[in-house]
Amino acid sequence: MDPTLMPDIAAPMPGDPIGWLEKIIVFPDGVSLLRLHPLSDYRRGEEEARILYLCRKFTGIQNDPGGYAFVMKIKVQVPKSEGGKADPLDGPSDRSMAEMQAMMKFRDADLDCTPDLRWTLQQAQPGDGPVPGGYVTVIVMNQMPGSSLEELKFWSLKEEEQNMIREKFSNNLRSVWKCGIVPTDCSMRNIFWDAKAQKCSIIGFERHRAMSPNVSQIDEAAIRGELPQWGLV
């Protein structure tokens, strides 16, 4: 469906930091996703900026408000200085590639405690982008249930719930390690907890190191040793 036939839906969001990018994004398999509202701030690094959006499938008439919601991560090449210039680069960046490779391993292992990679797209920025011809990387994953421990204020939770989170997180981290992935962005913002379902999830795999997926190397002491880095003890 041509977005120009749906001006209200296709119109840029007020204050959208990447308003130059279409709201309805069509992926190689023909699936169309509509960007809804931001889930994060627009974070600008030295050569790359990123922002997260909530999104839903778009069928051509209207966004289905009852449809399943996904998380769309958009990364774009930016010049080193605001308003500066840069030679366009092909994407994805090393961190984006690392994240996608990690999620593909989790998918192969059928993990349900990590994001499921759904769609990816690589394209060039239009002429009004921050680096015309530079890369745009779009990564879409399922939305993990609950909220981050940072938002939930982990240390204000009851001790019983804290212990349950530690136990479930430890089990999940062990599963991630078995996939050969050791996350190094250790933060409570990357641990999600759904109290109602008693489900713990781990996100944020742009930065990780490889680990030989040898189950015998993963003992309780190694897992316990990780908890302080994540702020859980």
pLDDT digits (tens, 9 = 90+) for 112-169: 999 999 999 999 999 999 999 999 999 999 999 999 999 999 999 999 999 999 999 9
Partners of residue 138 on adjacent β-strands: 74, 121
C-alpha 155/C-alpha 1 separation (Å) is 49
Residue 78, exposed/middle/buried by CB under 10 A (0-12, 13-18, 19+)? buried
**CA end-to-end distance (rounded Å), the chain:** 52
Query: 49-63, 95-109, 124-138, 175-189: which has the minimum mean pLDDT?
Result: 49-63
Closest Cα to residue 38, out of 22, 65, 18? Answer: 18
Query: pLDDT at position 211, please?
Result: 83
Q: What is the pLDDT of residue 2?
A: 46
Q: pLDDT tens digit string along 10-69?
A: 555 556 889 999 999 999 999 999 999 999 999 999 999 999 999 999 987 655 655 689
pLDDT (0 to 100) of residue 68: 82
Hey, what are 86's tokens? 């840069």
Residue identified by tokens 């769309």 is 72
Question: What was the pLDDT predicted at 104?
Answer: 97
